[in-house]
A and B are shown apart, each in its own frame.
Chain A
Amino acid sequence: MECYFDNSATTRVHPEVADTIHKVMLDEYGNPSSMHKKGMEAEMIVRNARETIASTLKVDDRCILFTSGGTESDNMALIGCADAYKRSGKHIITTKIEHPAILNTCKYLEENGYEVTYLGVDKNGLVDLSELENSIREDTTIVSIMHTNNEIGAVEPIEKAGEAIKRKNPSTLFHVDAVQGYGKWRILPSKQNIDLLSVSSHKIHGPKGIGFLYIGNGVKINPIIHGGGQQKNLRSGTENVPGIAGMAKACELIYSDLDNANDHLYTMKQRLIEGLDDIEDIKINGLTGRESAPHILSVSFGLVRSEVLLHALEDKGIYVSAGSACASNKPAVSETLKAIGVEKRMLESTIRFSLCKDNTMEQIDYCLEVLHDTLPMLRRFTRH
């Protein structure tokens, strides 16, 4: 049985999305900037996509900027705004458990004269709101907090954080990296004090290489990519029309069946947790109930190296990742796991299961069966 449990790394493209892309590639192949009819057709595809996506967030469609994905959206939000507001201040706040797209962009900004405060998290990976409030200063221009953590599925108190930020300093911008949260929760930027929101298409059954950044009205932002002046001069480069159309279709599909899909995901996650119960020396990282992400479960298996367990599961057709596979295949110790205080011996023994609505209970049961069979064998042979 093939079980793809690595949906936080990427997802399979939905067949309807693939059809949309295929059709746009063959029919509406014009350049949206061309003045003739073929250009116009392509521009309409982009415009409709923008509207579809904006409606999932209940925002004005002019607030949607197409990018190449989550990483570019995060870079654009931080660098673009840090630059635009550099006269108001050079202080940025983020957390220790962000995706490398945020953490390394912050490092880059630090090298360029900005000051960054990294908020710690509790054992469940949640930020402390009073620590957040105390860190906000007169010269704090951006606070960036992820919606849902990609490694342990912690869901941050975004709404309360938004209130706290605006209470302390109304001119501080609030950026939310929603790469793992969009498509699992209803996110309403205008009601939740969110000024900037990053989303990636390939995490929600859309194509790779496309994503968007929501930029609230009145937010000043400078481009980080320069060229022909597309997208109101904010993101030059010919629009990825088929990608945009595909992403819009994926957004539409994921929000059309959100509640059912989430129920199914939580049920599977619960079954997985229960089924692991009788395995010795394991630890589930972070919260597991409805307050956590429906699709992510991080488990540390003592005395087994995660890479070995990963390949042993792979051999049975089960695909998972060791910690977070998203950044690269370099075996490095996870910052998130360290930040939530995972024991040292468990750091290299942690596996992430990430589900999608296409997974089934049968797959969960099969996976549990394989784990029960494989773990004793793997634990017999450990490094000394």
Chain B
Amino acid sequence: MYSSFLIKYAEIGIKGKNRYLFENALVQQIKYACKRCEGDFEVRKAEGRIYVDAVSDFDYDELIDNLKTVFGISGICPMIQIEDNSFDNLCSVIVDYFDREYPDKNKTFKVFARRSRKSYPKNSMELNADIGEVLLNAFPELKVDVHDPDICLYVEVREKTYVYSQIIPGPGGMPVGTNGKAMLLLSGGIDSPVAGYMISKRGVKIDAVYFHAPPYTSDRAKQKVIDLARQVSKYSGPIYLHVINFTDIQLAIYEKCPHDELTIIMRRYMMRIAQSIAEETECLGLITGESIGQVASQTMHSLACTNEVCTMPVYRPCIGMDKQEIISISEKIGTYETSILPFEDCCTIFVAKHPVTKPNLSIIKRHEHNLDEVIDDLVKTALDTKETIIVKIEK
């Protein structure tokens, strides 16, 4: 029924001279989203707005679902385009549209007309009043409410005239690719995919690193992480997923360091390795799913110890969130179901019964020296043998 869509974007509108960079990135991302849908589409930037026009048969729901994954879109408005300039014709189209869209007429409404094309015979105020009158005449049950209407009918007179009243919310944020790249530490849990999603939402392209520990973690656990990355890539675009074999490092820590510090020391090495891949791949920061106090390794003390090895900024978008808040986002973005599959990840296999919750950095550092003889080689081997998988949505 609709073949044209007005794309509303939020924050890009307030950018200054580089606004066009953001708009062009958004157009590009919308084009990618359209490519995943059946049918042909034209995406155009005109008069400070973005329009998507279907130029062949297409699946409405599929298009909307895909547009909803494009960061930078705040709203998608299915609209009617009218080329004929006469006011009478405009009114008859609006009456039809209204009748079809709102079978129940017992509603209040307000017309928001905007005349950008100044050659049009009626100005905005006149359009508001006249269209309102036509609608009231056509549907006597309708009422006008200019303060809190049920229906806001937008009529925009530009090159063509556009009519819409529905705004389907988009994900918000900024188009991917407008804000550099960061490296996500992706486990199989609930938090890290959410963290990746949240940073990506700010326009950041993401790559990811996963620590695999065979035979302690299985190929199914690895596949689970690939599936999570794929789900995040619906929003973020293709993700380079680096899989690091972490077993030998973990075993060395297990043998040479106190068990209650194992997780902290292990996480320090994960950060070091992630950072070294990040530097090599031009990432500007690390992303983790940590949240203060969630587990022993995420207390303020533990975070301070883990963070100490990083020279790059570490972004932790879940840091102040409760578990339930994180779960809500994971459900919304479709990673929850996969995250809760019961496979062991490398953080839990050797976890001590009572890990330290207030680690002391100088003690941790002293114990890390126990690894001096072997650790450089082990880290180098882990980096040299990393497997890189390009994860993206097919089609």
Closest to A331 in B: B342
Contact A384 B215 (CB under 8 A): no
| A383 within 8 A of partner (CB) | yes
CB-contact partner of A314 in B215, B344, B349, under 8 A? B215
What residues on A are CB-neighbors of B272 within 8 Å? none
- Given known contacts A329-B220, A331-B342, A384-B259, is B215 in contact with A315 (CB within 8 Å)? yes
What residues on B are CB-neighbors of A383 within 8 Å? 349-351
Contact B218 A311 (CB under 8 A): yes
Tell me the A305-328 residues at the B interface (CB within 8 Å).
307-312, 314-315
Tell me the B123-162 residues at the A interface (CB within 8 Å).
none
A311: min CB distance to chain B, Å: 3
What residues on A are CB-neighbors of B218 within 8 Å? 307, 311
B314: min CB distance to chain A, Å: 28
Number of A-B contacts (CB under 8 A): 31
Interface string of A344-384 (1 = CB under 8 A from B): 00000000000000000000000000000000000011011
Closest to B350 in A: A383
Contact A381 B215 (CB under 8 A): no
| B251 within 8 A of partner (CB) | yes
- Given known contacts A329-B220, A383-B350, is B344 in contact with A315 (CB within 8 Å)? no
B98: min CB distance to chain A, Å: 47
A308–B350 Cα distance when bound, in Å, is 12
Interface string of B296-307 (1 = CB under 8 A from A): 000000000000
Closest to A310 in B: B215
What residues on A are CB-neighbors of B240 within 8 Å? none
Contact A312 B259 (CB under 8 A): no
Contact B351 A381 (CB under 8 A): no
Contact B214 A315 (CB under 8 A): yes
B196: min CB distance to chain A, Å: 26
Closest to A329 in B: B220
Contact A311 B251 (CB under 8 A): no
What residues on B are CB-neighbors of A384 within 8 Å? 259, 350, 352-353
B224: min CB distance to chain A, Å: 11
B231: min CB distance to chain A, Å: 20
Contact B351 A308 (CB under 8 A): no
Contact A381 B342 (CB under 8 A): no
* A interface, over-half SS: helix
B268: min CB distance to chain A, Å: 19
| B2 within 8 A of partner (CB) | no
A47–B215 Cα distance when bound, in Å, is 48
Contact B216 A308 (CB under 8 A): yes
What residues on A are CB-neighbors of B251 within 8 Å? 381
| B254 within 8 A of partner (CB) | yes
A334–B344 Cα distance when bound, in Å, is 18
What residues on A are CB-neighbors of B349 within 8 Å? 308, 383
What residues on B are CB-neighbors of A330 within 8 Å? 342
Contact A312 B342 (CB under 8 A): no
What residues on B are CB-neighbors of A311 within 8 Å? 214-218
Closest to A380 in B: B255
What residues on B are CB-neighbors of A381 within 8 Å? 251, 254-255, 350
A305: min CB distance to chain B, Å: 8
A125: min CB distance to chain B, Å: 27
What residues on A are CB-neighbors of B217 within 8 Å? 311
CB-contact partner of B215 in A308, A331, A380, under 8 A? A308
A310–B344 Cα distance when bound, in Å, is 14
Tell me the B238-264 residues at the A interface (CB within 8 Å).
251, 254-255, 259
- Given known contacts A329-B220, A384-B352, is B344 in contact with A307 (CB within 8 Å)? yes
A384–B350 Cα distance when bound, in Å, is 7
Closest to A313 in B: B215
A248–B352 Cα distance when bound, in Å, is 54
A318: min CB distance to chain B, Å: 12
What residues on B are CB-neighbors of A314 within 8 Å? 215
A173–B77 Cα distance when bound, in Å, is 66
- Which B residues are within 8 Å of any A CB, using their own CB? 214-218, 220, 251, 254-255, 259, 342, 344, 349-353
The 6 lowest CB-CB distance pairs between A and B, nearest first, are: A311-B215, A312-B215, A384-B259, A311-B218, A308-B216, A381-B254
Offer 7 A-B interface pairs, CB within 8 angstroms, sorted by A: A311-B216, A312-B215, A331-B342, A380-B255, A381-B251, A383-B351, A384-B350
